């Protein structure tokens, strides 16, 4: 490798680029920009990146933003999982262990879903799919049930699409906020989701193709679980048996997040639930930690869509 980067000219360029020679702006941003640009220079040097390749990467980034797929490439490159690993590590250092594992939020949350007490139905009857009943309790690490916790749930429909991002779905379809009852319990009826696939002609899949990777996720259900005085939990459960369960392009599957899916086909039980076809049931409890000083923040500020 050449020493071009070490020349006074290149180093001076980096200093001027990052504003480190002036006394205005933000000191932390300057240091980070210097590092990132310097690492890019280094990559260009090390791989002898040619101008054509460089400009193809720049038009890729433009396309990624225009296709609104930044939030999709980020988990695909493991960056969102890396942030989780760092939060896990910081929690361990703060003495926070156990409880329900976190996993990535992903790009498809929509704020402001309808709020109800104790229970909800997430679909409006227009989805064709296997009915799923899910229920459980929100507790603290000492096993104390938490009344008044909010279980904010969202998931894909049986075609793998999310409402709002898939404009063919009803508003807030398969998105609800449920307040736990006096025993800390929540329950909902919905339809089993299918796994998500990256848009096949989008920029994320285009890069994954170059990496020899697919852009599939196992079927999953997302949750934010919050309660006053407790640490916000961002997590997902995976639907057991999915072929991508341990081959998730977004690296979100974790031990402890694959509950048993019980199947019920007995006509008596089916009718007792007001159904006429076999259904599935998942029991899953969420265990939260009390908020405390010197622990990493779990309330992440991130731009979200809000269904108009
Ligand atoms: C999803 O549904 C998802 O949860 C993630 C992380 C990425 C793409 C689609
Ligand atoms: Fe998802």
Q: Give pLDDT tens digits for 9-40.
A: 999 999 999 999 999 999 999 999 999 999 99
What's the confidence (pLDDT) of residue 305? 81
What's the confidence (pLDDT) of residue 152? 98
What's the confidence (pLDDT) of residue 307? 75
Task: Name the token pair of 26.
Answer: 């933000």
What's the confidence (pLDDT) of residue 53? 98
User: Pocket residues for ligand 1 (CB within 6 Å)?
Assistant: 72, 75, 104, 106-108, 196, 217, 250, 252
What's the confidence (pLDDT) of residue 1? 55
Q: Which helix (H) or strand (E) holds 132?
A: strand 131-140
Locate tokens 């969202």: which residue? 154
Q: Which residues of the chain have pLDDT under 50?
A: none
The answer to whether the CB of 130 falls within 8 A of the CB of 191 is yes
Task: Name the token pair of 78.
Answer: 């493991």
**What residue owns the CA closest to ligand 1's atom 6?**
106
Q: Which atom of ligand 1 is nearest to the CA of 249?
A: 7
Q: How far is the centre of ligand 1, averaged over its atoms, from the C-alpha of 229 (Å)?
A: 29
What's the confidence (pLDDT) of residue 308? 67
Q: How far is the centre of ligand 2, averaged over its atoms, from the C-alpha of 19 (Å)?
A: 39
201-204: long-range contacts at Cβ-Cβ below 8 A with a sequence spacing of 24 or more? Answer: 202/67, 202/69, 202/72, 203/60, 203/63, 203/64, 203/67, 203/69, 203/73, 204/64, 204/69, 204/72, 204/73, 204/76
Round to the nearest angstrom and report the end-to-end CA distance of the chain. Answer: 54
Rg of the Cα atoms in the chain = 23
Q: How far is the centre of ligand 1, averaged over its atoms, from the C-alpha of 251 (Å)?
A: 10
CA dist 252 and 234 (Å) reads 11
């Amino acid at each position: 490798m050449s020493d071009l980067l070490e020349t006074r000219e290149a180093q001076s360029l980096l200093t001027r680029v990052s504003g480190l020679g002036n006394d205005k702006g933000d000191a932390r941003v300057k240091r980070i920009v210097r590092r990132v640009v310097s690492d890019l220079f280094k990559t260009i040097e090390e791989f002898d990146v040619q101008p054509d390749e460089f400009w193809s990467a720049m038009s890729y980034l433009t396309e990624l933003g225009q296709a609104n797929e930044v939030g999709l490439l980020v988990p695909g490159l493991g960056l969102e999982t890396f942030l989780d690993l760092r939060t896990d590590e910081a929690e361990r250092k703060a003495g926070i262990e156990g409880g329900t594992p976190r996993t990535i939020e992903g790009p498809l949350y929509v704020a402001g879903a309808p709020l109800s007490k104790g229970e909800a139905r997430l679909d409006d009857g227009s989805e064709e799919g296997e009915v799923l009943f899910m229920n459980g309790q929100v507790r603290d690490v000492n096993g104390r049930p938490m009344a008044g916790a909010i279980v904010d749930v969202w998931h894909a429909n049986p075609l793998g699409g999310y409402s709002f991002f898939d404009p063919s779905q009803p508003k807030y379809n398969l998105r609800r906020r449920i307040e736990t009852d006096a025993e800390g319990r929540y329950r909902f009826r919905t339809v089993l989701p299918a796994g998500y696939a990256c848009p096949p002609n989008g920029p994320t899949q285009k890069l994954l193709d170059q990496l020899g990777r697919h852009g599939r996720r196992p079927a999953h259900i997302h949750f934010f679980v919050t309660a006053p005085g407790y640490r916000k939990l961002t997590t997902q459960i995976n639907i057991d048996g999915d072929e991508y369960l341990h081959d998730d392009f977004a690296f979100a599957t974790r031990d402890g997040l694959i509950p048993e899916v019980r199947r019920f086909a007995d006509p008596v039980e089916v009718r007792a639930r007001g159904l006429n076809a076999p259904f599935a049931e998942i029991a899953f409890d969420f265990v939260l930690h009390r908020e405390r000083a010197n622990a990493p923040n779990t309330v992440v500020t991130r731009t979200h869509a809000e269904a108009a």
